Amino acid sequence: MGRCGTTRSCITVRTFGETDIQADWSTSASARLPYRDDVGHPDVDESSRHALRAVAGRCLPRVDDQYRAWLVLLRRSGLYGDSWVDHDELRAKALEVFELIWRRIAGFEVAEHLAEVSHRVGVRRAEQGVPLSEVQAAANRDFQVVWEAMLAEADDHEAAALLQHAPAIWAIVEDHTQRITEAYRRRSNELDDLSDDRRREWFRRLLKCDGERPDVVKNAAEVLELPVEGRFRVVIATREHAGRLRDARDALMALRWSFHYQEVEGGDLLVIQSTQEQDKRVMICLGGIRCAVAPPAHGLDEVPRATRIASDILAALPEDRSSPGLLEDAWLSVAATQAPLVTQALADRIHRCLENVQDGDVLLETARVFCDGDGTVSRAAGELFCHRNTVLNRLERLRSLTGVDVRRPRDAAGFLFAMSAGKPAGGTP
């Protein structure tokens, strides 16, 4: 990476700094001057304008000296210290900037390529990743160099004219800085969009290959800035809850966690790099959001599988749920969704056995409550507001009619699996 060396200034420095000048015309500094010969103030006489332009005209050929003075200020302030900015490029653009400023002050013609230098500087610094605050601070150093150069060049009469025109001179430099800022932000936004598009594309490739292509996994890891061997939690929320999921993403961003966020079919997806100890913090961030959280993916190649599981969990969550759903919460519904024919066949068999039984729904509800609880008759009786012998009688009757005894773990699992299919294909029994 190229670094610019420090060079001694050739400009005479007088005791009238940038801060002193800014304090005198803070109300005028926001003025914008177009690129034409209109430098000055309506209350300033023509002779002072002429003096100003004469000084600017004499300073124009000395832009190399001004660049060296500016570079000294840059290095003393620490600006661009950690940024990659090529020395030759820095010099070339600074020379153009000083020529632009002098031509505007003097009222000389400004060529089209020179008029665009502020824009080009902003674009280039955004592409180089230089922080905007440093770019703006470096541009504002131009005024100190220009002011000191003009004072060094001016005689007593011209120095008095400079003070009268100080607000207009500052406005020219501020206009240059503003143009840099606008170009920087526009280009930065463009680069962010391009980067987001690239991340989305590589995540799609990762899903498409199902994590089975090492080259795709490696490239996706580089683009997404996630480790290949990391541990991840995949979260999906439907579109109507995407706003809350983005809030969770922003909270993780504030914590400086690594993640990837994008829209996928059926909702918004968040992939979080998380250790087992951090999982609790993840669930806190997701609190109050109807979303699905897949089991941990141990490696980026397992993320596609975790994404499918999260999608299946989301499809199985009740519509009125207002909290994250884990696989242990929805495994039965997910399994039923994966084997709909088997699930429906089991459900139909039970329903057909009860289709002529008047209290069939009561028997099914009793069995559901028993299975959903802790497997004790007394708890089921309390929830159903009946005697425990009533529960036992209903469970025994269900066994005699359907052959399913939910008091046995194997039958209980089969019963719950069948009931997750809902009503029988032929309608209500």
Domain final residue pick, 299, 330, 361: 330
Q: Cα–Cα distance between 149 and 56 in angstroms, integer?
A: 9
Same domain, 133 and 177: yes
Q: Cα–Cα distance between 200 and 321 in angstroms, integer?
A: 29
pLDDT of residue 344: 84
pLDDT of residue 68: 92
pLDDT of residue 82: 59
What stretches in the chain show pLDDT beneath 70? 1-44, 81-84, 421-429
pLDDT of residue 146: 93
pLDDT of residue 34: 41
Same domain, 246 and 137: no
pLDDT of residue 179: 95
Instruction: Name residue 39's amino acid.
Output: V
Q: Cα–Cα distance between 268 and 241 in angstroms, integer?
A: 9
Query: Domain limits at 260?
Result: 218-330
For residue 233, what are its two tokens? 């939690």
CA angle 390, 394, 396 (to 5 degrees): 115
pLDDT of residue 21: 31
CA angle 145, 157, 8 (to 5 degrees): 25
Same domain, 375 and 403: yes
In our burial notation (b when 16+ CB lie closer than 10 A, e otherwise), range 183-203 reads bbeebbeeeeeeeeeebbebb
Domain final residue pick, 330, 355, 375: 330
Same domain, 236 and 257: yes
CATH number at residue 249: 3.30.70.120
CATH number at residue 409: 1.10.10.2840
The total of structural domains in the chain comes to 3
Q: Output 27-30 pairs: Cβ under 8 A, ≥24 positions apart.
A: 28/167, 28/168, 28/170, 28/171, 29/167, 29/170, 29/171, 29/174, 30/171, 30/174
* Structure confidence by residue, pLDDT tens digits, 352-380: 899 889 999 999 999 999 988 887 899 99
Q: Is 386 within a domain?
A: yes
Share of the chain above pLDDT 90, in %: 47
Give the CA count within 13 Å in the CB-facing half-sphere of 300: 26
Same domain, 385 and 319: no
Same domain, 145 and 60: yes
Same domain, 128 and 72: yes
pLDDT of residue 148: 93
Going along 175-243, which residue ranges are E strands?
231-237
- List 293's β-bridge partners, or say none: 235, 326
